Structure 1
Amino acid sequence: MNDSTSPPSGPLALGGSVWFQAGQQTLGGAARIALLAAIRDTGSITGAAKAVGMSYKGAWDAIDAMNNLAGEPLVVRSTGGKGGGGTTLTPRAIRLIDTFHAIEREHRRFLERAGAAIDGFGGDWALLGRIGLRMSARNQLYGTVVSVVRGAVNDEVSIALPGGHTIVAVVTCESTETLGLAPGSAALALVKASSVVLVAGDGVPMRLSARNQLQGVVGVIRRGAVNAEVAVELPGGAVIVGVVTDGSVDALGLAVGQPATAVFKASSVILGVSG
Protein backbone atom coordinates (compact mmCIF):
# COMPACT_ATOMS: atom_id res chain seq x y z
CA MET A 1 0.00 0.00 0.00
CA ASN A 2 1.41 3.37 -0.96
CA ASP A 3 1.72 5.97 1.76
CA SER A 4 -0.06 8.87 0.07
CA THR A 5 0.34 11.04 3.15
CA SER A 6 4.15 11.12 3.00
CA PRO A 7 5.56 14.62 2.59
CA PRO A 8 6.55 15.56 -0.98
CA SER A 9 10.22 15.48 -1.90
CA GLY A 10 10.17 18.85 -3.69
CA PRO A 11 10.07 22.32 -2.16
CA LEU A 12 6.81 23.35 -0.46
CA ALA A 13 4.71 25.94 -2.24
CA LEU A 14 2.32 28.29 -0.49
CA GLY A 15 -1.32 28.17 -1.56
CA GLY A 16 -4.64 29.62 -0.56
CA SER A 17 -8.10 30.47 -1.82
CA VAL A 18 -10.65 33.28 -1.62
CA TRP A 19 -14.38 33.03 -1.10
CA PHE A 20 -17.25 35.41 -0.40
CA GLN A 21 -19.61 35.03 2.53
CA ALA A 22 -23.14 36.24 3.20
CA GLY A 23 -23.45 36.20 6.99
CA GLN A 24 -22.25 32.77 8.09
CA GLN A 25 -22.98 31.16 4.70
CA THR A 26 -20.48 30.82 1.88
CA LEU A 27 -21.71 32.65 -1.20
CA GLY A 28 -19.04 31.39 -3.52
CA GLY A 29 -15.40 30.64 -4.15
CA ALA A 30 -13.35 30.15 -7.29
CA ALA A 31 -15.59 27.38 -8.67
CA ARG A 32 -18.81 29.39 -8.40
CA ILE A 33 -17.21 32.56 -9.69
CA ALA A 34 -15.88 30.56 -12.66
CA LEU A 35 -19.43 29.37 -13.30
CA LEU A 36 -20.70 32.96 -13.29
CA ALA A 37 -17.94 34.00 -15.68
CA ALA A 38 -18.78 31.09 -18.01
CA ILE A 39 -22.45 32.12 -18.00
CA ARG A 40 -21.39 35.66 -18.91
CA ASP A 41 -19.26 34.35 -21.77
CA THR A 42 -21.64 31.70 -23.16
CA GLY A 43 -25.09 33.05 -22.28
CA SER A 44 -26.10 29.47 -21.54
CA ILE A 45 -26.31 27.31 -18.42
CA THR A 46 -25.59 24.21 -20.48
CA GLY A 47 -22.54 25.78 -22.10
CA ALA A 48 -21.28 27.25 -18.82
CA ALA A 49 -21.67 23.96 -16.94
CA LYS A 50 -19.73 22.15 -19.65
CA ALA A 51 -17.01 24.80 -19.65
CA VAL A 52 -16.34 24.46 -15.91
CA GLY A 53 -16.82 20.67 -15.76
CA MET A 54 -20.07 20.74 -13.78
CA SER A 55 -23.35 18.92 -14.32
CA TYR A 56 -26.36 20.93 -15.47
CA LYS A 57 -28.18 20.22 -12.20
CA GLY A 58 -25.09 21.06 -10.18
CA ALA A 59 -24.81 24.38 -11.99
CA TRP A 60 -28.41 25.32 -11.26
CA ASP A 61 -28.09 24.23 -7.62
CA ALA A 62 -25.06 26.54 -7.29
CA ILE A 63 -26.93 29.39 -8.99
CA ASP A 64 -29.96 28.98 -6.73
CA ALA A 65 -27.70 29.00 -3.67
CA MET A 66 -25.90 32.15 -4.82
CA ASN A 67 -29.16 33.94 -5.64
CA ASN A 68 -30.58 33.07 -2.22
CA LEU A 69 -27.47 34.01 -0.27
CA ALA A 70 -26.96 37.27 -2.16
CA GLY A 71 -30.51 38.34 -1.33
CA GLU A 72 -31.04 39.35 -4.94
CA PRO A 73 -30.79 37.67 -8.36
CA LEU A 74 -27.29 37.18 -9.76
CA VAL A 75 -28.37 34.99 -12.67
CA VAL A 76 -31.55 35.49 -14.66
CA ARG A 77 -32.97 32.98 -17.11
CA SER A 78 -35.34 34.14 -19.86
CA THR A 79 -37.32 31.92 -22.18
CA GLY A 80 -38.69 32.50 -25.66
CA GLY A 81 -38.85 35.94 -27.18
CA LYS A 82 -37.19 37.31 -30.26
CA GLY A 83 -33.74 36.25 -29.16
CA GLY A 84 -34.84 32.73 -28.24
CA GLY A 85 -34.20 33.18 -24.54
CA GLY A 86 -30.97 32.53 -22.65
CA THR A 87 -29.21 33.17 -19.39
CA THR A 88 -27.73 36.50 -18.34
CA LEU A 89 -25.98 37.97 -15.34
CA THR A 90 -27.27 40.94 -13.40
CA PRO A 91 -24.99 43.97 -12.97
CA ARG A 92 -24.37 42.83 -9.38
CA ALA A 93 -23.06 39.47 -10.61
CA ILE A 94 -20.73 41.13 -13.12
CA ARG A 95 -19.33 43.37 -10.38
CA LEU A 96 -18.93 40.32 -8.16
CA ILE A 97 -16.74 38.59 -10.76
CA ASP A 98 -14.51 41.66 -11.12
CA THR A 99 -14.30 42.14 -7.36
CA PHE A 100 -13.40 38.49 -6.78
CA HIS A 101 -10.59 38.57 -9.33
CA ALA A 102 -9.21 41.79 -7.85
CA ILE A 103 -9.25 40.36 -4.33
CA GLU A 104 -7.77 37.10 -5.58
CA ARG A 105 -4.84 38.97 -7.14
CA GLU A 106 -4.17 40.82 -3.88
CA HIS A 107 -4.55 37.61 -1.89
CA ARG A 108 -1.98 35.89 -4.10
CA ARG A 109 0.45 38.77 -3.63
CA PHE A 110 -0.07 38.61 0.14
CA LEU A 111 0.69 34.87 0.19
CA GLU A 112 3.81 35.38 -1.91
CA ARG A 113 5.08 38.09 0.45
CA ALA A 114 4.21 36.10 3.57
CA GLY A 115 5.74 32.92 2.19
CA ALA A 116 8.99 34.73 1.50
CA ALA A 117 9.09 36.48 4.88
CA ILE A 118 7.94 33.79 7.35
CA ASP A 119 9.71 30.47 7.72
CA GLY A 120 7.28 27.55 7.56
CA PHE A 121 4.34 29.83 6.73
CA GLY A 122 2.81 27.45 4.16
CA GLY A 123 2.09 24.61 6.56
CA ASP A 124 0.99 26.93 9.37
CA TRP A 125 -1.39 28.86 7.11
CA ALA A 126 -3.13 25.68 5.95
CA LEU A 127 -3.43 24.42 9.53
CA LEU A 128 -4.86 27.74 10.75
CA GLY A 129 -7.52 27.49 8.07
CA ARG A 130 -8.58 24.04 9.25
CA ILE A 131 -8.53 25.06 12.92
CA GLY A 132 -10.77 28.03 12.15
CA LEU A 133 -13.59 25.89 10.79
CA ARG A 134 -16.71 25.85 12.98
CA MET A 135 -19.13 22.94 12.61
CA SER A 136 -21.38 20.75 14.72
CA ALA A 137 -19.67 17.45 13.86
CA ARG A 138 -17.47 16.48 16.80
CA ASN A 139 -15.00 14.50 14.70
CA GLN A 140 -13.03 16.36 12.04
CA LEU A 141 -10.37 14.20 10.40
CA TYR A 142 -8.02 15.66 7.79
CA GLY A 143 -6.52 13.41 5.14
CA THR A 144 -5.82 12.75 1.47
CA VAL A 145 -8.10 11.16 -1.11
CA VAL A 146 -6.54 7.87 -2.25
CA SER A 147 -9.31 6.51 -4.45
CA VAL A 148 -12.72 7.33 -5.91
CA VAL A 149 -14.91 4.44 -7.05
CA ARG A 150 -17.59 5.84 -9.33
CA GLY A 151 -21.17 4.60 -9.27
CA ALA A 152 -24.40 5.39 -11.09
CA VAL A 153 -25.74 7.56 -8.24
CA ASN A 154 -23.18 7.48 -5.42
CA ASP A 155 -19.40 7.34 -5.31
CA GLU A 156 -17.17 5.66 -2.74
CA VAL A 157 -14.33 7.92 -1.65
CA SER A 158 -11.40 6.66 0.44
CA ILE A 159 -9.45 9.12 2.60
CA ALA A 160 -6.04 8.20 4.03
CA LEU A 161 -5.28 9.60 7.49
CA PRO A 162 -1.71 10.47 8.53
CA GLY A 163 -1.47 7.50 10.92
CA GLY A 164 -2.23 4.87 8.30
CA HIS A 165 -5.98 4.41 8.75
CA THR A 166 -8.32 4.89 5.81
CA ILE A 167 -11.84 6.31 6.02
CA VAL A 168 -14.43 5.39 3.42
CA ALA A 169 -17.28 7.78 2.62
CA VAL A 170 -20.26 7.36 0.32
CA VAL A 171 -21.29 10.61 -1.37
CA THR A 172 -23.35 11.48 -4.41
CA CYS A 173 -21.67 11.66 -7.80
CA GLU A 174 -22.62 15.31 -7.89
CA SER A 175 -20.84 15.96 -4.58
CA THR A 176 -17.69 14.28 -5.89
CA GLU A 177 -17.79 16.58 -8.90
CA THR A 178 -18.66 19.76 -7.01
CA LEU A 179 -15.97 19.23 -4.36
CA GLY A 180 -13.35 18.25 -6.92
CA LEU A 181 -12.58 15.01 -5.08
CA ALA A 182 -9.79 13.09 -6.80
CA PRO A 183 -6.78 11.00 -5.75
CA GLY A 184 -4.18 13.25 -4.20
CA SER A 185 -6.55 16.03 -3.14
CA ALA A 186 -6.92 17.07 0.50
CA ALA A 187 -10.27 16.51 2.22
CA LEU A 188 -11.88 16.84 5.62
CA ALA A 189 -13.99 13.93 6.90
CA LEU A 190 -16.72 14.89 9.38
CA VAL A 191 -18.39 12.29 11.61
CA LYS A 192 -20.86 13.02 14.40
CA ALA A 193 -19.98 11.45 17.74
CA SER A 194 -23.47 9.95 17.91
CA SER A 195 -22.70 7.97 14.72
CA VAL A 196 -19.65 6.27 16.26
CA VAL A 197 -20.04 2.82 17.84
CA LEU A 198 -17.27 1.77 20.21
CA VAL A 199 -15.94 -1.77 20.52
CA ALA A 200 -13.51 -2.83 23.25
CA GLY A 201 -10.28 -4.54 22.24
CA ASP A 202 -7.95 -4.43 19.26
CA GLY A 203 -8.85 -7.63 17.44
CA VAL A 204 -8.74 -8.17 13.70
CA PRO A 205 -11.31 -6.22 11.65
CA MET A 206 -14.78 -7.46 12.52
CA ARG A 207 -17.35 -8.73 10.06
CA LEU A 208 -19.73 -5.78 10.19
CA SER A 209 -21.70 -3.85 7.61
CA ALA A 210 -19.98 -0.66 8.79
CA ARG A 211 -17.00 0.00 6.51
CA ASN A 212 -14.97 2.12 8.90
CA GLN A 213 -13.22 0.42 11.81
CA LEU A 214 -10.48 2.59 13.33
CA GLN A 215 -8.37 0.91 15.99
CA GLY A 216 -6.72 2.94 18.72
CA VAL A 217 -6.40 3.46 22.44
CA VAL A 218 -8.86 5.12 24.81
CA GLY A 219 -7.42 8.50 25.73
CA VAL A 220 -10.20 10.20 27.69
CA ILE A 221 -13.56 9.23 29.16
CA ARG A 222 -15.87 12.06 30.20
CA ARG A 223 -18.89 10.74 32.08
CA GLY A 224 -22.21 12.54 32.31
CA ALA A 225 -25.44 11.80 34.10
CA VAL A 226 -26.50 9.30 31.41
CA ASN A 227 -23.95 9.29 28.59
CA ALA A 228 -20.20 9.31 28.37
CA GLU A 229 -17.91 10.85 25.77
CA VAL A 230 -15.08 8.48 24.91
CA ALA A 231 -12.07 9.71 22.92
CA VAL A 232 -10.08 7.09 21.03
CA GLU A 233 -6.56 8.13 20.07
CA LEU A 234 -5.49 6.80 16.66
CA PRO A 235 -1.97 6.20 15.35
CA GLY A 236 -0.59 9.45 13.95
CA GLY A 237 -2.25 11.64 16.58
CA ALA A 238 -5.83 11.86 15.30
CA VAL A 239 -8.64 11.44 17.85
CA ILE A 240 -12.17 10.17 17.21
CA VAL A 241 -14.92 10.59 19.79
CA GLY A 242 -17.97 8.44 20.38
CA VAL A 243 -20.92 9.03 22.72
CA VAL A 244 -22.19 5.94 24.54
CA THR A 245 -24.17 5.33 27.70
CA ASP A 246 -22.40 5.11 31.05
CA GLY A 247 -23.70 1.55 31.25
CA SER A 248 -21.99 0.68 27.97
CA VAL A 249 -18.68 2.05 29.24
CA ASP A 250 -18.90 -0.30 32.23
CA ALA A 251 -20.20 -3.28 30.27
CA LEU A 252 -17.44 -3.00 27.66
CA GLY A 253 -14.75 -2.36 30.23
CA LEU A 254 -13.63 0.79 28.46
CA ALA A 255 -10.77 2.43 30.33
CA VAL A 256 -8.06 4.95 29.60
CA GLY A 257 -5.05 3.26 28.04
CA GLN A 258 -7.03 0.24 26.85
CA PRO A 259 -7.43 -0.62 23.16
CA ALA A 260 -10.72 0.20 21.47
CA THR A 261 -12.13 0.39 17.96
CA ALA A 262 -14.33 3.21 16.64
CA VAL A 263 -16.87 1.91 14.11
CA PHE A 264 -19.10 3.97 11.81
CA LYS A 265 -20.81 3.60 8.45
CA ALA A 266 -19.50 5.13 5.25
CA SER A 267 -22.85 6.90 4.87
CA SER A 268 -22.21 8.68 8.20
CA VAL A 269 -19.17 10.49 6.80
CA ILE A 270 -19.52 14.01 5.38
CA LEU A 271 -16.67 15.24 3.21
CA GLY A 272 -15.52 18.82 2.86
CA VAL A 273 -12.75 20.68 1.08
CA SER A 274 -11.29 24.14 1.58
CA GLY A 275 -11.91 26.92 -0.89
Structure 2
Amino acid sequence: MPNMPSTSSLELSTTLSLRSGDQSWGTERRMALLAAIGTEGSISAAARKVGLSYKAAWDAVDLMNSLAGDLLVERVTGGKRGGGAHLTERARELIAWYQAAQAEHQRFMENLTRVGPNGARHLDLLHHMTLQTSARNCYEGTIGAIESGRINDRIRLDLGEGVSLNATLTHASTERLGLAEGRRALAFLKAQAVRIRPQAASAADLNLWTGLIDHRTDDDTLAEISLDINAKVRITGLAAPGAPRGSLLAGTTATACFQAADVLIGTLD
Protein backbone atom coordinates (compact mmCIF):
# COMPACT_ATOMS: atom_id res chain seq x y z
CA MET A 1 0.00 0.00 0.00
CA PRO A 2 1.27 3.53 -0.67
CA ASN A 3 2.48 5.73 2.16
CA MET A 4 -0.30 7.45 4.08
CA PRO A 5 -0.30 11.26 4.04
CA SER A 6 0.56 13.09 7.22
CA THR A 7 -2.24 13.74 9.69
CA SER A 8 -2.00 17.48 9.13
CA SER A 9 -2.60 17.12 5.39
CA LEU A 10 -5.28 14.38 5.53
CA GLU A 11 -8.82 15.52 4.78
CA LEU A 12 -11.48 12.97 5.65
CA SER A 13 -14.27 12.84 3.09
CA THR A 14 -17.10 10.36 3.47
CA THR A 15 -20.22 9.44 1.56
CA LEU A 16 -23.45 7.78 2.57
CA SER A 17 -24.65 4.76 0.58
CA LEU A 18 -28.05 3.06 0.56
CA ARG A 19 -28.31 -0.71 0.31
CA SER A 20 -30.94 -3.28 -0.63
CA GLY A 21 -29.80 -6.69 0.64
CA ASP A 22 -26.21 -7.08 -0.56
CA GLN A 23 -26.59 -4.52 -3.36
CA SER A 24 -25.46 -0.92 -2.91
CA TRP A 25 -27.60 1.32 -5.12
CA GLY A 26 -27.91 4.74 -3.48
CA THR A 27 -24.34 6.03 -3.85
CA GLU A 28 -23.51 9.72 -3.80
CA ARG A 29 -22.94 9.71 -7.56
CA ARG A 30 -26.28 8.06 -8.30
CA MET A 31 -28.12 10.38 -5.93
CA ALA A 32 -26.51 13.31 -7.75
CA LEU A 33 -27.83 11.81 -10.99
CA LEU A 34 -31.32 11.64 -9.51
CA ALA A 35 -31.15 15.28 -8.44
CA ALA A 36 -29.92 16.29 -11.90
CA ILE A 37 -32.81 14.46 -13.57
CA GLY A 38 -35.13 16.53 -11.42
CA THR A 39 -33.59 19.82 -12.57
CA GLU A 40 -32.77 18.91 -16.19
CA GLY A 41 -35.87 16.94 -17.13
CA SER A 42 -34.02 14.24 -19.07
CA ILE A 43 -31.58 11.43 -18.40
CA SER A 44 -29.18 12.50 -21.16
CA ALA A 45 -28.92 16.08 -19.84
CA ALA A 46 -28.54 14.83 -16.27
CA ALA A 47 -25.78 12.45 -17.38
CA ARG A 48 -23.84 15.32 -18.92
CA LYS A 49 -24.27 17.40 -15.78
CA VAL A 50 -22.80 14.76 -13.44
CA GLY A 51 -20.16 13.48 -15.87
CA LEU A 52 -21.64 10.10 -16.81
CA SER A 53 -22.09 8.55 -20.21
CA TYR A 54 -25.64 8.21 -21.49
CA LYS A 55 -25.51 4.40 -21.19
CA ALA A 56 -24.06 4.50 -17.67
CA ALA A 57 -26.83 6.88 -16.60
CA TRP A 58 -29.55 4.63 -18.06
CA ASP A 59 -28.02 1.60 -16.34
CA ALA A 60 -27.95 3.48 -13.03
CA VAL A 61 -31.59 4.55 -13.38
CA ASP A 62 -32.65 0.97 -14.16
CA LEU A 63 -30.75 -0.30 -11.12
CA MET A 64 -32.21 2.33 -8.80
CA ASN A 65 -35.74 1.72 -10.04
CA SER A 66 -35.41 -2.05 -9.61
CA LEU A 67 -33.77 -2.05 -6.17
CA ALA A 68 -35.35 0.94 -4.43
CA GLY A 69 -38.69 -0.81 -4.01
CA ASP A 70 -40.52 2.16 -5.54
CA LEU A 71 -40.38 3.78 -8.95
CA LEU A 72 -38.04 6.76 -8.70
CA VAL A 73 -37.73 7.92 -12.32
CA GLU A 74 -40.55 7.89 -14.85
CA ARG A 75 -39.70 8.12 -18.53
CA VAL A 76 -41.90 10.25 -20.75
CA THR A 77 -42.05 9.51 -24.48
CA GLY A 78 -43.27 11.75 -27.28
CA GLY A 79 -44.87 15.13 -26.74
CA LYS A 80 -43.76 18.57 -27.86
CA ARG A 81 -40.31 18.19 -26.28
CA GLY A 82 -39.73 14.69 -27.65
CA GLY A 83 -39.96 12.98 -24.27
CA GLY A 84 -37.76 13.06 -21.19
CA ALA A 85 -37.82 11.89 -17.60
CA HIS A 86 -39.11 13.18 -14.30
CA LEU A 87 -38.83 12.22 -10.66
CA THR A 88 -41.65 10.68 -8.70
CA GLU A 89 -42.71 12.15 -5.38
CA ARG A 90 -40.92 9.23 -3.71
CA ALA A 91 -37.67 10.22 -5.42
CA ARG A 92 -37.96 13.86 -4.36
CA GLU A 93 -38.55 12.81 -0.76
CA LEU A 94 -35.57 10.45 -0.97
CA ILE A 95 -33.23 13.15 -2.29
CA ALA A 96 -34.21 15.57 0.49
CA TRP A 97 -33.73 12.86 3.12
CA TYR A 98 -30.38 11.76 1.65
CA GLN A 99 -29.00 15.31 1.60
CA ALA A 100 -29.99 15.85 5.25
CA ALA A 101 -28.61 12.44 6.29
CA GLN A 102 -25.37 13.07 4.38
CA ALA A 103 -24.86 16.37 6.21
CA GLU A 104 -25.40 14.65 9.58
CA HIS A 105 -23.12 11.80 8.57
CA GLN A 106 -20.35 14.21 7.62
CA ARG A 107 -20.64 16.03 10.96
CA PHE A 108 -20.47 12.69 12.77
CA MET A 109 -17.32 11.66 10.89
CA GLU A 110 -15.68 15.02 11.53
CA ASN A 111 -16.31 14.55 15.25
CA LEU A 112 -14.77 11.06 15.11
CA THR A 113 -11.53 12.48 13.72
CA ARG A 114 -11.14 14.44 16.95
CA VAL A 115 -11.29 11.32 19.15
CA GLY A 116 -7.70 10.80 20.20
CA PRO A 117 -4.51 11.41 18.20
CA ASN A 118 -4.41 10.41 14.52
CA GLY A 119 -8.18 9.90 14.41
CA ALA A 120 -8.44 10.54 10.67
CA ARG A 121 -5.63 8.09 9.89
CA HIS A 122 -7.26 5.38 12.03
CA LEU A 123 -10.61 5.83 10.26
CA ASP A 124 -8.99 5.65 6.84
CA LEU A 125 -7.25 2.40 7.81
CA LEU A 126 -10.49 0.89 9.17
CA HIS A 127 -12.18 1.74 5.88
CA HIS A 128 -9.63 -0.37 4.00
CA MET A 129 -9.79 -3.22 6.51
CA THR A 130 -13.52 -3.71 5.81
CA LEU A 131 -12.71 -4.73 2.23
CA GLN A 132 -13.08 -8.47 1.63
CA THR A 133 -12.14 -10.21 -1.62
CA SER A 134 -10.97 -13.63 -2.78
CA ALA A 135 -8.06 -12.04 -4.66
CA ARG A 136 -4.73 -12.58 -2.87
CA ASN A 137 -3.22 -9.42 -4.34
CA CYS A 138 -4.95 -6.14 -3.51
CA TYR A 139 -3.42 -2.70 -4.08
CA GLU A 140 -4.43 0.90 -3.66
CA GLY A 141 -2.97 3.67 -5.77
CA THR A 142 -3.59 6.72 -7.89
CA ILE A 143 -4.55 6.60 -11.54
CA GLY A 144 -1.55 8.02 -13.39
CA ALA A 145 -2.74 7.71 -16.99
CA ILE A 146 -5.68 6.53 -19.10
CA GLU A 147 -5.25 5.56 -22.74
CA SER A 148 -8.78 5.55 -24.14
CA GLY A 149 -9.95 3.34 -26.99
CA ARG A 150 -13.27 2.81 -28.69
CA ILE A 151 -13.84 -0.45 -26.79
CA ASN A 152 -10.99 -0.96 -24.29
CA ASP A 153 -9.02 1.48 -22.15
CA ARG A 154 -5.56 1.01 -20.66
CA ILE A 155 -5.26 2.24 -17.07
CA ARG A 156 -1.96 2.87 -15.28
CA LEU A 157 -2.26 2.71 -11.49
CA ASP A 158 0.67 4.19 -9.56
CA LEU A 159 1.27 2.46 -6.22
CA GLY A 160 4.10 4.69 -5.04
CA GLU A 161 7.88 4.31 -4.74
CA GLY A 162 8.20 3.87 -8.50
CA VAL A 163 5.86 0.85 -8.75
CA SER A 164 2.88 0.87 -11.11
CA LEU A 165 0.66 -1.62 -12.90
CA ASN A 166 -1.36 -1.56 -16.10
CA ALA A 167 -4.93 -2.79 -16.40
CA THR A 168 -7.16 -3.21 -19.42
CA LEU A 169 -10.89 -2.67 -19.05
CA THR A 170 -13.74 -1.68 -21.29
CA HIS A 171 -14.34 1.99 -22.02
CA ALA A 172 -17.85 1.55 -20.61
CA SER A 173 -16.36 0.35 -17.30
CA THR A 174 -14.04 3.38 -17.17
CA GLU A 175 -17.04 5.68 -17.51
CA ARG A 176 -19.23 3.72 -15.11
CA LEU A 177 -16.56 3.86 -12.39
CA GLY A 178 -15.85 7.52 -13.07
CA LEU A 179 -12.12 6.84 -13.50
CA ALA A 180 -9.89 9.84 -14.15
CA GLU A 181 -6.24 10.72 -13.72
CA GLY A 182 -5.44 11.56 -10.11
CA ARG A 183 -8.31 9.52 -8.64
CA ARG A 184 -7.64 6.88 -6.00
CA ALA A 185 -8.50 3.35 -7.09
CA LEU A 186 -8.03 -0.28 -6.10
CA ALA A 187 -6.54 -3.12 -8.11
CA PHE A 188 -7.26 -6.83 -7.54
CA LEU A 189 -5.29 -9.74 -8.96
CA LYS A 190 -5.76 -13.45 -8.26
CA ALA A 191 -2.61 -15.41 -7.44
CA GLN A 192 -3.48 -17.88 -10.22
CA ALA A 193 -3.06 -15.09 -12.77
CA VAL A 194 0.54 -14.35 -11.68
CA ARG A 195 3.54 -16.35 -12.87
CA ILE A 196 6.82 -16.12 -10.96
CA ARG A 197 9.90 -16.60 -13.14
CA PRO A 198 13.64 -16.70 -12.34
CA GLN A 199 14.19 -13.97 -14.93
CA ALA A 200 12.14 -11.33 -16.72
CA ALA A 201 9.98 -12.37 -19.64
CA SER A 202 8.93 -10.14 -22.50
CA ALA A 203 5.49 -9.95 -24.06
CA ALA A 204 3.00 -7.33 -25.12
CA ASP A 205 0.58 -6.11 -22.44
CA LEU A 206 2.57 -7.89 -19.69
CA ASN A 207 3.22 -6.37 -16.26
CA LEU A 208 6.69 -7.23 -14.94
CA TRP A 209 7.68 -6.72 -11.29
CA THR A 210 11.11 -7.79 -10.00
CA GLY A 211 11.82 -8.41 -6.33
CA LEU A 212 13.07 -10.85 -3.69
CA ILE A 213 11.29 -14.10 -2.87
CA ASP A 214 10.11 -14.02 0.73
CA HIS A 215 8.12 -17.22 1.01
CA ARG A 216 7.44 -20.40 -0.95
CA THR A 217 4.83 -23.13 -0.36
CA ASP A 218 4.82 -26.37 -2.37
CA ASP A 219 2.34 -29.14 -2.90
CA ASP A 220 2.45 -32.10 -5.29
CA THR A 221 1.99 -30.01 -8.43
CA LEU A 222 2.21 -26.29 -7.64
CA ALA A 223 4.53 -23.84 -5.91
CA GLU A 224 3.02 -20.66 -4.47
CA ILE A 225 5.54 -17.85 -4.09
CA SER A 226 5.36 -14.44 -2.40
CA LEU A 227 7.64 -11.78 -3.84
CA ASP A 228 8.58 -8.53 -2.08
CA ILE A 229 8.78 -5.77 -4.69
CA ASN A 230 9.61 -3.14 -2.08
CA ALA A 231 8.80 -2.45 1.56
CA LYS A 232 5.17 -1.64 0.70
CA VAL A 233 4.30 -3.88 -2.25
CA ARG A 234 4.15 -7.68 -2.21
CA ILE A 235 2.74 -10.02 -4.86
CA THR A 236 1.80 -13.70 -4.61
CA GLY A 237 1.69 -16.02 -7.59
CA LEU A 238 2.54 -19.48 -8.87
CA ALA A 239 5.87 -20.72 -10.15
CA ALA A 240 5.90 -20.64 -13.93
CA PRO A 241 5.65 -24.08 -15.56
CA GLY A 242 9.09 -25.32 -16.56
CA ALA A 243 10.99 -23.23 -13.99
CA PRO A 244 14.34 -24.98 -13.32
CA ARG A 245 14.43 -27.24 -10.27
CA GLY A 246 16.25 -25.56 -7.42
CA SER A 247 15.42 -22.05 -8.65
CA LEU A 248 12.90 -19.64 -7.13
CA LEU A 249 14.11 -20.09 -3.57
CA ALA A 250 13.62 -17.69 -0.65
CA GLY A 251 16.06 -14.79 -0.80
CA THR A 252 16.65 -14.99 -4.56
CA THR A 253 15.58 -12.46 -7.16
CA ALA A 254 12.63 -13.29 -9.40
CA THR A 255 10.08 -11.59 -11.64
CA ALA A 256 6.29 -11.61 -11.34
CA CYS A 257 4.48 -11.53 -14.69
CA PHE A 258 0.76 -10.85 -15.19
CA GLN A 259 -1.48 -9.67 -17.99
CA ALA A 260 -3.15 -6.26 -17.89
CA ALA A 261 -6.45 -7.98 -18.76
CA ASP A 262 -6.26 -10.01 -15.51
CA VAL A 263 -6.26 -6.91 -13.29
CA LEU A 264 -9.62 -5.83 -11.89
CA ILE A 265 -10.08 -2.15 -10.98
CA GLY A 266 -12.40 -0.83 -8.29
CA THR A 267 -13.09 2.47 -6.54
CA LEU A 268 -13.54 3.47 -2.93
CA ASP A 269 -16.90 5.22 -3.42
TM range, normalised to the smaller chain? 0.7 to 0.9
Counterpart contact for 1:5–1:161, Cα < 8 Å: no
CA–CA distance in structure 2, aligned partners of residues 75 and 98 of structure 1 = 15
Q: 2:202 aligns with which of 195, 203, 207?
A: 207
Q: How does 1:1-275 map to 2 (within 5 A)?
A: 7=5, 11-80=9-78, 85-201=83-199, 206-244=201-239, 251=245, 253-275=247-269
Give 1:255's aligned amino acid.
L
Secondary structure of the structure 2 residue equivalent to 1:161: strand
In the TM superposition, residue 187 of structure 1 has moved relative to its aligned partner by 1.0
* Per-residue Cα deviation, 1:132-157 (whole angstroms, up to 9, x for no partner): 11222221111111122222332221
Unaligned runs of at least 5 residues, structure 2: none
SS in 2 for 1:49: helix
- Name the SS of the counterpart of 1:171 in structure 2: strand
Aligned counterparts of 2:134 and 2:65: Cα–Cα separation in 1: 25
CA root-mean-square deviation: 2.6
Give, as a single letter, the amino acid of the residue that structure 2 aligns with 1:241: T
* Cα distance change of structure 1 residues 38 and 223 upon mapping to structure 2, 3 Å threshold: same
Which region of structure 1 is more displaced relative to structure 2, 141-150 or 111-120? 111-120
Q: Which amino acid aligns with 2:258?
A: F
Q: Distance in 2 between matches of 1:190 and 1:199?
A: 21
CA 1:30–1:257 in structure 2 vs 1: closer, same or farther (change >3 Å)? Answer: same
The AA in structure 2 aligned to 1:77 is R
User: CA deviation digits over 1:14-55, x for unaligned, max 9?
Assistant: 222221222222113111110011111122011111111111
Q: Is the 8 A contact 1:5 1:144 kept in 2?
A: no
Q: Which residue type is aligned with residue 37 of structure 1?
A: A
Question: CA-to-partner distance for each residue in 1:204-245, whole Å, 9 max, x for gaps?
Answer: x54222431111222222334543332222213222111458
Cα distance in 2, alignment partners of residues 46 and 252 from structure 1:
61
* 1:200–1:252 CA contact under 8 A, matched in 2: no
Q: AA paired with 1:256?
A: A
How many angstroms apart in 1 are the aligned matches of 2:94 and 2:223? 48
Q: TM-score w.r.t. structure 2 length?
A: 0.88
| Per-residue CA distance 1:70-110 (angstroms, 9 max, x = gap) | 34433221323587532122333333322321221112101
State which drifts further: 143-152 or 8-17.
Answer: 8-17
Q: Distance in 2 between matches of 1:189 and 1:115?
A: 27
Does the 8 Å CA contact 1:139/1:240 hold for their aligned counterparts?
Answer: yes
- The answer (yes or no) to whether the contact 2:7–2:120 under 8 Å persists in 1 is no
1:235 partner letter: N
* 1:164 and 1:236 in contact (8 A); partners too: no
Contact preservation (8 Å) 1:140, 1:190: yes
Report which stretch shifted further, 64-73 or 141-150: 64-73
The Cα of 1:162 is off from its aligned counterpart by 2.8
The aligned amino acid for 1:54 is L
1:274 deviates by: 0.7
Deviates more, 1:83-92 or 1:19-28: 83-92
State the identity as a percent: 37
Contact between 1:143 and 1:160, CA under 8 Å: does it hold in 2? Answer: yes
Gaps of 5+ in 1: none
Q: Relative to structure 1, is the Cα distance of residues 185 and 8 closer, same or farther in structure 2, using a 3 angstrom cutoff?
A: farther
TM-score by length of 1: 0.86
